């Protein structure tokens, strides 16, 4: 099961698909995705895309809001690039067929939502299921292009570089990946002139997350194992409001509800945000709101808090948030009549694989776009609805650089890579070896490396993760790989990178709150870079 393609894109969300559409005229494009194409985080994005659009808004205001949320760590040149590129990328989406919601008072205008941290209404949305509609349209356009082939249920196991196969005498570069058929387990060599990681985030490293099951940090782990650098992985954004219900899995309650006036309540039905951020209250940045909720949960001992929008007109709520209304109603909660039970949950990786302004990693031929990448846009905390925008802009940036270098890249000779060698591995008869470590790892990260951290807990997490990693590595070489085991290994490696990064940042900033150092420190106004040296103390 070997393949050759000009461009190999790993991931089928907004970043991967929009880049595939741009690369299609240059050559053959293979997009692999480990489940069905729409099952990534893009489809779950409810709020929308931030973009300067209204007459009262400006690039300078959007830039200032982004920098403020990023708490001193945003790369100013990245912020400028993304914010100023937004209108053009939005028009491109609309040309592909995305129809954003219109202002009910003036259908000639787009409806602009307000979210936490924004000083103006600038969130373009499709009702409350923006990501789902964008994914649908991009998949339609992708399937129309004969030079793009979409492979569902294929999982990247490892990147192949010239160095890995002993052919880097004239310099290293990526030449493809080992890819597993999810159902047969067969692992083939997929060769490409350019490889792009668009794998999304790593929310499943935590017990409670808004992320889909696919968010196992694959791109970050693949890149770091291959020798790339990652940056700022200590900054994990926790979304304040996920639906709390025993049968609801990973259902996010959009920040847009708070933008439209929803109020957070304690277990006794009393507002509390005025005690934590008197000026911004519910519209404070996510890290502020999430930590306030964490403090209230600890203070009261409650299992959840409430988000109340029942004071708004029921017809408005149903028309503005139809997906959230219908979903909550399915779980027995009528949001027009009663408050919604909510808890914070791991939501977004502000760090990722280090890239330049064109999505290039530290490995030649390897690009990273979307949530798996670190571009410097988000700093220590992502501003709401900047994520889909970043994915669009950096997919375009990557396209520009690939197109610029394509006349050289396409003439690179194909270098044959050895087939996947399972050695003497045998079938794993007891899947409990996977499920136990999967659960232990995620609970450990939630309890020790969550919203509020301490040096003691981080050191304990580091030690325990080392033992889990050692067991996983032993199993990796003894047993024939399964998709679940590949994901577990990736999750564990990303968890170790997060902890190592958190231990290096001895301050509190953005989403990283360290009890031992509760204030910002000037000497830490820099990115935290980590690489495979963090993982090298574990051997088969």
Catalytic center residues: 286
C-alpha 316/C-alpha 469 separation (Å) is 50
Is beta strand 340-349 parallel, antiparallel or unpaired with respect to 263-265?
A: unpaired
| DSSP 8-state symbol, 101 | P
C-alpha 64/C-alpha 182 separation (Å) is 44
Q: Which residues of 290-313 are buried (b: 16+ CB within 10 A; e: fewer)?
A: bbbbbebbeeeebebbbbbbbebe
Residue 306 · residue 296 · CB < 8 Å: no
Residue appearing with tokens 């294929």: 154
| DSSP 8-state symbol, 274 | G
**3-class SS of residue 451:** coil
Residue 461 · residue 499 · CB < 8 Å: yes
H or E segment and range at residue 393: helix 387-409
C-alpha 201/C-alpha 351 separation (Å) is 9
Whether the CA torsion 502, 503, 504, 505 is positive or negative: it is: positive
Token pair of 185, please?
A: 């387990």
Among candidate residues 485, 499, 494, the one with its CA nearest the CA of residue 199: 494
Among candidate residues 202, 284, 212, 198, the one with its CA nearest the CA of residue 236: 202
| DSSP 8-state symbol, 147 | T
C-alpha 256/C-alpha 534 separation (Å) is 38
Among candidate residues 14, 73, 8, the one with its CA nearest the CA of residue 43: 14
**Ramachandran angles phi, psi of 177, nearest 5°:** -155, 155
Residue 444 · residue 461 · CB < 8 Å: yes
C-alpha 274/C-alpha 276 separation (Å) is 6
C-alpha 96/C-alpha 141 separation (Å) is 7
Q: In what order do the strands lie in the sheet with 263-265?
A: 236-243, 340-349, 305-308, 263-265
């Amino acid at each position: 099961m070997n393949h050759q393609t000009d461009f190999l894109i790993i991931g089928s969300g907004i970043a991967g698909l929009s880049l595939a559409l741009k690369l299609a005229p240059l050559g053959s494009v293979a997009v692999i995705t480990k489940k069905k194409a729409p099952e990534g985080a893009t489809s779950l994005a409810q709020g929308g895309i931030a973009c300067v659009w209204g007459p009262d808004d400006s690039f300078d205001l959007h830039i200032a809001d982004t920098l403020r949320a990023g708490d001193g760590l945003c790369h100013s040149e990245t912020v400028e690039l993304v914010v100023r590129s937004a209108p053009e990328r939005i028009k491109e989406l609309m040309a592909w067929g995305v129809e954003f919601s219109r202002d009910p008072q003036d259908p000639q205008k787009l409806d602009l939502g307000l979210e936490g941290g924004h000083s103006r209404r600038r969130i373009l949305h499709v009702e409350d299921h923006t990501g789902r509609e964008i994914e649908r349209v991009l998949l339609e356009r992708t399937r129309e292009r004969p030079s793009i082939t979409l492979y569902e249920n294929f999982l990247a196991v490892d990147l192949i570089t010239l160095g890995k196969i002993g052919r880097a005498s004239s310099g290293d570069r990526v030449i493809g990946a080992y890819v597993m058929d999810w159902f047969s387990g067969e692992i083939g060599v997929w060769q490409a002139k350019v490889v792009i990681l668009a794998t999304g985030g790593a929310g499943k490293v935590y017990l409670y997350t808004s992320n889909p099951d696919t968010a196992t940090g694959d791109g970050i782990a693949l890149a770091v194992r291959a020798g790339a650098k990652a940056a700022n992985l200590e900054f994990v954004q926790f979304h304040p409001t996920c639906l709390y219900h025993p049968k609801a899995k990973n259902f996010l309650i959009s920040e847009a509800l708070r933008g439209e006036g929803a109020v957070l309540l304690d277990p006794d039905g009393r507002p509390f945000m005025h005690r934590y951020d008197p000026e911004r209250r519910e519209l404070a940045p996510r890290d502020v709101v999430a930590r306030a909720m964490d403090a209230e949960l600890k203070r009261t001992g409650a299992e959840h808090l409430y988000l109340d929008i029942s004071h708004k007109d029921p017809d408005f709520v149903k028309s503005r948030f139809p997906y959230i209304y219908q979903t909550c109603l399915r779980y027995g909660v009528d949001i027009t009549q009663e408050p919604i039970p909510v808890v914070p949950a791991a939501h977004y990786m502000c760090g990722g694989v280090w890239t330049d302004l064109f999505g290039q990693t530290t490995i030649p031929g390897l690009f990273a776009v979307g949530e798996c990448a670190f571009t410097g846009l988000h700093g220590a905390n992502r501003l709401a609805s900047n994520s889909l925008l970043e994915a669009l802009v950096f997919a375009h940036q990557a396209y520009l650089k690939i197109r610029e270098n394509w006349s050289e890249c396409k003439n690179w000779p194909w270098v044959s890579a050895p087939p996947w060698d399972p050695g003497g591995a045998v079938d794993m008869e007891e899947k409990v070896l996977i499920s136990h470590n999967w659960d232990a790892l995620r609970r450990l990260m939630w309890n020790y490396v969550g919203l509020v951290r301490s040096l003691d807990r981080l050191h304990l997490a580091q030690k325990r993760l080392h033992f889990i990693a050692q067991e996983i590595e032993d199993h990796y070489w003894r047993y024939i790989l399964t998709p679940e085991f590949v994901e577990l290994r990736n999750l564990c490696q990303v968890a170790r990178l997060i902890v190592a990064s958190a231990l290096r940042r001895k301050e509190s900033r953005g989403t990283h709150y360290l009890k031992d150092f509760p204030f910002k420190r000037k000497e830490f106004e820099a990115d935290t870079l980590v690489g495979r040296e963090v993982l090298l103390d574990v051997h088969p």
